[in-house]
Structure 1
Amino acid sequence: MIIALLIISAIALFLTFIYMPASWLKYGLSVLFAISLVSSLVLVVMNDSQHFGMKKVTTTKTVTLKSAGSSQLDMLLYQSVGTSDQHRVYIYKTAANQKKAITTAANVKTSNQVKTTTGSTKLVTKTTRWTYKSGTAKLWFGIADNDKQLIKRTNTFYVQKTWAVLSTSQAKQLSKLAKQQSATLKVQAKTYVQNAVKAAMIKNPTMSATQLAQLEKQAAAQYQATAMQKMIQTVKQAK
């Protein structure tokens, strides 16, 4: 609407000033149309540069995170943008059966951060946009197509300590290393579990079969977690 007013004011000013005979009416209309023209132009510039008639609106969206990796280890993956690893895009899933992972936007208006939590693993996205203050403001300036223009977006990933945050290349190295050490880890895991059972039996010779089975399961899981953490540190330290 404001563009239409600007054009009409310009045309009216031209016609009035050129074709109307000299009179107080001509000068009065010329001043009126000139004010309308200048005011419309100023408002257009203010809407474009200072978002006149608009306000900031922030929305928050929370989704549950699922591992982006193909292994049993829970992983949040990222890909560095540039050569100095100052900017990253993160790769994640929101459902266990999700085939294609989601990637965060790679632009200057989007920032990402990862925090450790003892609660649920989730992604909290805060998005701030410019929106028109009223329907009237949108009617006047909506032709600029800047409604809901993105100002900034912040993605905060809350992951538990058991999750691994790795680059895509580190994840590939981890998978390769796990396959290489698979046979060795099985032998070491068996020995670790046997020693744990022996130590427990010495402390409590009357342990039941159910208790022993539970102990074996816990010891195996503990060894696996420890071994995996060592491999993760290995791939993180590798250059």
Structure 2
Amino acid sequence: MIIILLILFVILAFFAIMLVKDAKLRWLYTALSFAAVAFCLVLITGNAHDHWGMKVKTTTKKVQIYSAQDQNTYGVLAYQPVGTSGREKAFVYKASTTAKEATVAKPDLKTKTAIQDIDGNQAFQVTKTKEYIYDNGFYQFLFGWAGNNHEVKSKQVTYQVPATWIALSTQDGAKLKAILAQKMGDADFISWIQQNKQEAADDPDQAAKDAVSYYKNVLANG
């Protein structure tokens, strides 16, 4: 609507200049029309740059995620640092137990990511989104042309990982795989694997915790 008003005031200014014969009235109507045009431009700029007429709404969504490698006795959350700083990460997991392909969640410029340790044996993705919405119907009617209702201000995605899961960067994953390949001829390692599998049949959570602890130790000392 604000664009329509802007166009109307520009047209009025044009007609005031071209059609009003009285000089004083012509200058008055022209000045008022251009003042209205300027006011519309200020409103448009304020909405586009500072989100005038809008407020921030925060929503939180929590969904369970599943291991990217479901053949293990423990869960795996893989990630790859993104960008030169490496602060943000792309995460790899499965969205359901029946998913054939893993999901690769890549952050954008408005998204921050984190890993959080939690209790239990299930992993979750918690997404906290802050978005701009219009204060009321009047502002939406006035500025709705911009299509910025529900525009994302920021997003925080936290991956909650229990002790039965291991969070691994792709680099650490490759390192761990290489170390374990060397251990495949080690009788003690093979014996531990068999014991861990047997334990998983009786107490899967404890077996998962033991496996995660073991592999973290291997990485730390490898």
Partner amino acid, structure 2, of 1:161 = A
Equivalent residues, number: 217
How far the C-alpha of 1:77 sits from its partner, in A, is 0.9
Report the Cα distance in structure 2 between the residues aligned to 1:223 and 1:70, rounded to whole angstroms: 15
Structure 2 vs 1, CA of residues 187 and 104 (structure 1 numbering), >3 Å: closer, same or farther?
closer
Structure 1, residues 110-140: CA drift from partner, whole Å, max 9, x if none?
A: 1111111114421211001111122221221
Q: Structure 2: which 5+ residue stretches go unaligned?
A: none
Matched, 1:167 2:151: no
Instruction: Answer yes or no: is the 8 Å Cα contact 1:17–1:26 preserved in 2.
Output: yes
Report the Cα distance in structure 2 between the residues aligned to 1:138 and 1:216, rounded to whole angstroms: 57
Structure 1, residues 169-219: CA drift from partner, whole Å, max 9, x if none?
A: 3334434544553453334567x79xxxxxxxxxxxxxxxxxxxx989669
How far the C-alpha of 1:232 sits from its partner, in A, is 3.5
- Residue 113 of structure 1: aligned partner: 114
- Residue 97 of structure 2: aligned partner: 96
The structure number with the bigger radius of gyration is: 1
Q: Structure 1: which 5+ residue stretches go unaligned?
A: 194-213
Q: How does 1:68-107 map to 2 (within 5 A)?
A: 68-72=68-72, 73-107=74-108
| Match 1:156 to one of 155, 158, 181 | 158
Report the Cα distance in structure 1 between the residues aligned to 2:170 and 2:28, rounded to whole angstroms: 71
Report the Cα distance in structure 1 between the residues aligned to 2:165 and 2:108, rounded to whole angstroms: 26
- What is the DSSP-based 3-state SS (H/G/I as helix, E as strand, rest coil) of the residue aligned with 1:96? coil
Matched, 1:55 2:62: no
Structure 2 vs 1, CA of residues 71 and 170 (structure 1 numbering), >3 Å: closer, same or farther?
farther
Higher strand share: 2
Q: How does 1:120-159 map to 2 (within 5 A)?
A: 120-159=122-161
- What is the DSSP-based 3-state SS (H/G/I as helix, E as strand, rest coil) of the residue aligned with 1:41? helix
Instruction: Answer yes or no: is the 8 Å Cα contact 1:131–1:148 preserved in 2.
Output: yes
- Residue 13 of structure 1: aligned partner: 13
Report the Cα distance in structure 2 between the residues aligned to 1:49 and 1:41, rounded to whole angstroms: 12
How far the C-alpha of 1:220 sits from its partner, in A, is 11
- Residue 3 of structure 2: aligned partner: 3
- Residue 66 of structure 2: aligned partner: 66
- What is the DSSP-based 3-state SS (H/G/I as helix, E as strand, rest coil) of the residue aligned with 1:48? helix
Identity among equivalent positions (%) equals: 28
TM-score (normalised: structure 2): 0.81
Structure 2 vs 1, CA of residues 19 and 216 (structure 1 numbering), >3 Å: closer, same or farther?
closer
How far the C-alpha of 1:231 sits from its partner, in A, is 3.4
- What is the DSSP-based 3-state SS (H/G/I as helix, E as strand, rest coil) of the residue aligned with 2:44? helix
* CA-based RMSD: 3.1
| Match 1:231 to one of 207, 215, 221 | 215
How far the C-alpha of 1:69 sits from its partner, in A, is 2.2
